[in-house]
Amino acid sequence: GENVEQHPSTLSVQEGDSAVIKCTYSDSASNYFPWYKQELGKGPQLIIDIRSNVGEKKDQRIAVTLNKTAKHFSLHITETQPEDSAVYFCAALPRGGGGNKLTFGTGTQLKVEL
């Protein structure tokens, strides 16, 4: 089955700096890669996703890049703000992964310091 590794497990940045979180996946047939953000006391929420036919996707201050050859994808947050502090999870969906069954990474605790 699919295995997703996520690094780093914790990340501390100064407000205004950029943050990058990286994930690798094992199943070359995976074709959908979402990122979820979990704020304290809440469930995870989708913030951006990318499909395997696209190399990069951007939404305001966040962007995701995908390298299918190397089987890794990354989340980039620019101009970080205190409200970006949260746990971020990457995930992968194998092709033919019926029922929307995602494999999640282990999470990154991002702290944006003033």
Partner 1 sequence: DVKVTQSSRYLVKRTGEKVFLECVQDMDHENMFWYRQDPGLGLRLIYFSYDVKMKEKGDIPEGYSVSREKKERFSLILESASTNQTSMYLCASSFPSAGGDNEQFFGPGTRLTVL
Cα 47 to the chain's mean position, in Å? Answer: 9
Closer to partner 1 by Cβ: residue 68 or 104: 104
**Shortest Å, Cβ 72 to partner 1:** 17
Burial per residue of 4-29, b for 16 or more beta-carbon CB atoms within 10 angstroms, e otherwise: bebeeeebebeeeeebbbbbbbebee
Distance CA(30)–CA(93), nearest Å, equals 5
**Shortest Å, Cβ 103 to partner 1:** 8
Indicate whether 75 belongs to the interface with partner 1 (CB under 8 A). no
Closer to partner 1 by Cβ: residue 14 or 60: 60
User: Which of positions 19-48 make contact with partner 1 (CB under 8 A)?
Assistant: 31-32, 34, 36, 41-46
8 secondary structure, DSSP code: -
Indicate whether 112 belongs to the interface with partner 1 (CB under 8 A). no
